């Protein structure tokens, strides 16, 4: 295979995945609008940011410049994403089951982000939007999603997030 053929095949595959991505994103946005009404797009963007959050946590864990006490919290958070035991289990609730993972991640990241050199934070954040703006806006949307999940879920999620970051100042305080 020559170099030109390889690049054109690569481009065709990229277009195929881009089309799939756009289609999937559209379906998520439509479903979110159906469920969350005027918050639909924001809710969809929140769920679509989940991979960014997981990658960000993994990068922070791998960075030797991050203090060990922060890594312990980020490691516990990463375990929460990975382990099947959950406050809102994905196996039962589907995509909405990631609401607690996202909320707890946003809550903890928001409380700890100022304790890490911002250059390191920017270096590792894969998202499209500036991270501080993303965290504040997304935590507000996540509060809404968790609130419609029921009072018991809301209380448990917030309690778990507070236990992982005792004494931290959070957005809603």
pLDDT per position as a tens digit, 32-58: 777 667 767 777 777 778 888 888 999
Q: At what angle do helices 40-48 and 3-36 cross, to 10 degrees?
A: 140
Q: Please report how many Cα atoms fall inside a 13 Å half-sphere around the Cα of residue 49, on the Cβ side.
A: 28
Six-digit token pair at 138? 């997304």
pLDDT tens digits, residue range 83-137?
777 666 666 656 667 777 888 888 888 888 888 999 999 999 988 778 778 887 8
Residue 167 near residue 111, CB atoms below 8 Å: no
Handedness of CA 17, 18, 24, 25 (dihedral sign): positive
pLDDT of residue 163: 64
Residue 123 near residue 112, CB atoms below 8 Å: no
At 166, give phi and psi (nearest 5°): -65, 140
């Amino acid at each position: 295979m020559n170099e030109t053929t390889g690049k054109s095949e690569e481009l065709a595959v990229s277009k195929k995945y881009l089309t799939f991505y756009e289609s999937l994103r559209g379906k998520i946005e439509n479903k979110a609008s159906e469920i969350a009404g005027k918050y639909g797009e924001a809710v969809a963007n929140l769920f679509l940011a989940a991979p960014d959050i997981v990658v960000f946590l993994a990068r922070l864990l791998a960075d030797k410049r991050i203090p060990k006490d922060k890594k312990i919290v980020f490691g516990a958070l990463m375990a929460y994403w990975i382990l099947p035991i959950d406050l809102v289990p994905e196996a039962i609730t589907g995509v909405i089951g990631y609401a607690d993972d996202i909320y707890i991640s946003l809550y903890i990241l928001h409380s700890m982000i100022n304790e890490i050199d911002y250059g390191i934070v920017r270096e590792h954040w894969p998202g499209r939007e500036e991270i501080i703006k993303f965290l504040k806006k997304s935590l507000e949307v996540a509060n809404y999603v968790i609130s419609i999940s029921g009072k018991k879920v809301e209380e448990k999620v917030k309690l778990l997030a507070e236990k992982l970051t005792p004494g931290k100042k959070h957005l809603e305080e």
